[in-house]
Structure 1
């Protein structure tokens, strides 16, 4: 398989297409991740009213920008039907040439690496909590995952990963259900006065922090084109995406509310740390670890897509068409990616601050700035005035959010 800078192949996608149910499972497992357990803390920081509105706005905006990517790809398919646009990097190339590809791919790789690192850190911290620090260190737990994740990363298609995605979804749903049950019990039986819950925070710096966490919760933006392209009936993708995002957004709001209402100002940055140490709490932690373990290879897809594209280009330039060598190179590169991310994860100090920073900066650029820019570039004057205004609002808001989120992280916001 040769790499064409104008039409890169997607290595994780085979010719086998996914059904509507399989695509639904892949969307959920791609979007829902570790960030959801930080939502109650985000509601504590921003207030339950501001937090609810923030999650709703972020959910709607992310869905809108995902559709922009699909519309851009559809327009390019009509203009040049023989040239495929299968990845985020391809879209950047078609809009702004080589510089557009490099910018898009660099931001995408760093963002996906950050999200993958967050997964590893979360799993390591939870396993450490389960064994009450009587076992190995967090770093050891992280590296114990490496062989498993390497094996999962070698699976060849999204359709093959669908059963793992559905299993991860089940683990996440069961874990969140137990958290909500404990939240409801704590709300009615706890000693914290209900009136202590803040509606809108007076801490200006806390709002961007909470917003960053909300953006991080809607991760997996780089998988948009791959998910749509893998679906058997692509015409159903926008409706399926809308239905899925509506459900996820509602669940996020309810989950954040339940967690904050249960524990008030004592809400921790990962809400399951507030739960009593019993069988249900341990089930939550183990279930989420299993779910994230199977989600990890899907998070790696955009990274592998870009890395393998460059490797194929090198092979082509060296006139090396060996299929067997190509397979070995792919397996080796995916293993190296997992190991490198594990090494980085071993140096990350705090999950909450790291997740908020990633959402405020990298995820904001991927989710809002680049899609709006591509849409304006490709459609230009053919857009209605309200569409142009809306795109510019999304674009400017994304840039401001990224800059301000970076500033807050550097100076340190009191939360």
Structure 2
């Protein structure tokens, strides 16, 4: 005899389904609490840079043209003050990078994002900060973006002046045309205008790779001349007047600060937790940078003293082929690297204008932006062909804001109401960093403008 199937009452089934759904939600919620979001696990497959690779990229980015400016920085401070000052500036820069990266990593875990860039970190910190500062989120992003853009434009101006002065010295030595530095600045357009029309970063890789090998050879030649026949240390100033310190700080910041490339490098790492810590990628790289910059600055100033120029190669002998080779190599490196540095300001401007231009005109508009942007930079370098002024102004304005003030402010906003340490030491520490950056900016700009007026 077949037993009839008894159907379950609809009400009981509905209640049981709802109850099981609540259990499942509670279980999933507890799993999320037990398994916190790890940003590195959600990064794209392209993020495959090893810790060693990240170290190599950071060293390559930091050991740029600024290393050749360190003798000038020592000239403004003196050999003793310059040595200790380089260590101090290096420590401040490294700490600013450290707190920026740490803030970005913690923020990514909180908002469940794989990675954040520099400007994005500043914006999201303010968006998620206390209510009174949330309205400044867009301003923080814009400030970070434009500080980065102007910094790279200033670096491009420095490149143009170094290229022009280097080729002028070689031309004067070997009977070439006796043109002014301004004319040689204009002559760089022959190479720069077509080179800056390259829109894909991957096509610039061969130029960058070639530049790295040439750059290393140039540095070795410069070190050889610095150590060939140095005068006694007693012949150099141990310290200069206090009026030289702003220029020393500005030039050192321009030379040493590589915060613009830090976040892209960290975002591409397989194990971003290796970037910070002890020893960590950052600590190793910054220690090497400080040692290298301090050594070049010490040796360059010891050898050339008050004659130290904005680029060490410009102090090399005029009548020796090896020295002329170094000047030509450095000029060639900067010529090849110009397009890569120029990419940053173009990207910042293009992201803000492309939506206002019809899609069919994008190609020609971007080409026009690159064309007139190159003309503007070369024209600016031609108008003020004093290398020191560019470095001091860029270091004083942009790098004091982007490299010191913004990371300190971002950390304070992020940790506000959470953990500012015993006696709020994080707050007081960051206030000192912001104060130092403002003093460096105001004094650096004041002395730079004063120097410009005196040289008109």
Aligned 8 A contact 2:412 2:426 in 1: no
Match of 1:379 in 2: 415
Aligned 8 A contact 2:192 2:339 in 1: no
By how many angstroms is 1:269 displaced? 3.7
1:356 to 2:392 alignment: yes
RCO comparison, higher one (Cα < 8 Å, 6+): 1
Match of 2:31 in 1: none
Aligned counterpart for 2:155 among listed residues 112, 115, 128: 115
By how many angstroms is 1:240 displaced? 1.9
Match of 2:40 in 1: none
By how many angstroms is 1:148 displaced? 4.8
Point out the more displaced range, 267-276 or 123-132. 267-276
In structure 2, the CA distance between the partners of 1:69 and 1:297, relative to structure 1 (3 Å rule), is farther
Aligned counterpart for 2:429 among listed residues 385, 390, 395: 390
Aligned 8 A contact 2:392 2:445 in 1: no
Q: Secondary structure at the match of 2:388?
A: helix
Aligned counterpart for 2:195 among listed residues 142, 145, 149: 149
Q: For residues 68-102 of structure 1, give each alpha carbon's deviation from its aligned partner in whole angstroms, at most 9, with x where no partner exists.
A: 2222222321222258633x332332223222222
Aligned 8 A contact 1:59 1:245 in 2: yes
Q: Secondary structure at the match of 2:416?
A: helix
In structure 2, the CA distance between the partners of 1:18 and 1:327, relative to structure 1 (3 Å rule), is farther
By how many angstroms is 1:103 displaced? 2.5
State the aligned residue count.
Answer: 387
Whole-angstrom distance in 2 between the partners of 1:287 and 1:354: 22
By how many angstroms is 1:330 displaced? 4.6
Whole-angstrom distance in 2 between the partners of 1:15 and 1:284: 41
Match of 2:87 in 1: 56
In structure 2, the CA distance between the partners of 1:373 and 1:281, relative to structure 1 (3 Å rule), is same
Aligned 8 A contact 1:39 1:255 in 2: yes
Q: Over aligned residues, Cα RMSD in angstroms? A: 2.8
In structure 2, the CA distance between the partners of 1:156 and 1:358, relative to structure 1 (3 Å rule), is closer
Whole-angstrom distance in 2 between the partners of 1:18 and 1:333: 33
In structure 2, the CA distance between the partners of 1:229 and 1:312, relative to structure 1 (3 Å rule), is farther
Whole-angstrom distance in 2 between the partners of 1:334 and 1:228: 28
Match of 2:290 in 1: 249
| Larger Cα-atom Rg | 2
Match of 2:61 in 1: 30
1:259 to 2:297 alignment: no
Q: For residues 33-71 of structure 1, give each alpha carbon's deviation from its aligned partner in whole angstroms, at most 9, with x where no partner exists.
A: 333222112212211111111111112211211122222
Match of 1:185 in 2: 228
In structure 2, the CA distance between the partners of 1:90 and 1:362, relative to structure 1 (3 Å rule), is same
By how many angstroms is 1:200 displaced? 1.5
Aligned 8 A contact 1:33 1:292 in 2: no
1:275 to 2:306 alignment: no
Aligned 8 A contact 1:149 1:293 in 2: no
Whole-angstrom distance in 2 between the partners of 1:122 and 1:299: 15
In structure 2, the CA distance between the partners of 1:220 and 1:312, relative to structure 1 (3 Å rule), is farther
Which segments of 5 or more consecutive residues in structure 1 lack a partner in the other structure? 1-13
Aligned 8 A contact 1:30 1:219 in 2: no
Which segments of 5 or more consecutive residues in structure 2 lack a partner in the other structure? 1-43, 127-135
Normalising by structure 1, what TM-score? 0.83
Match of 1:10 in 2: none
Normalising by structure 2, what TM-score? 0.76
Whole-angstrom distance in 1 between the partners of 2:356 and 2:113: 24
Whole-angstrom distance in 2 between the partners of 1:290 and 1:28: 20
Q: Secondary structure at the match of 2:120?
A: helix
By how many angstroms is 1:206 displaced? 0.9
Q: For residues 326-346 of structure 1, give each alpha carbon's deviation from its aligned partner in whole angstroms, at most 9, with x where no partner exists.
A: 566555544443333223222
Whole-angstrom distance in 2 between the partners of 1:367 and 1:307: 21
Aligned 8 A contact 2:256 2:289 in 1: no
Q: Secondary structure at the match of 1:361?
A: helix
1:79 to 2:110 alignment: yes
By how many angstroms is 1:365 displaced? 1.1
Point out the more displaced range, 51-60 or 139-148. 139-148
Whole-angstrom distance in 2 between the partners of 1:329 and 1:110: 21
Aligned counterpart for 1:90 among listed residues 92, 106, 120: 120
Whole-angstrom distance in 1 between the partners of 2:267 and 2:114: 14
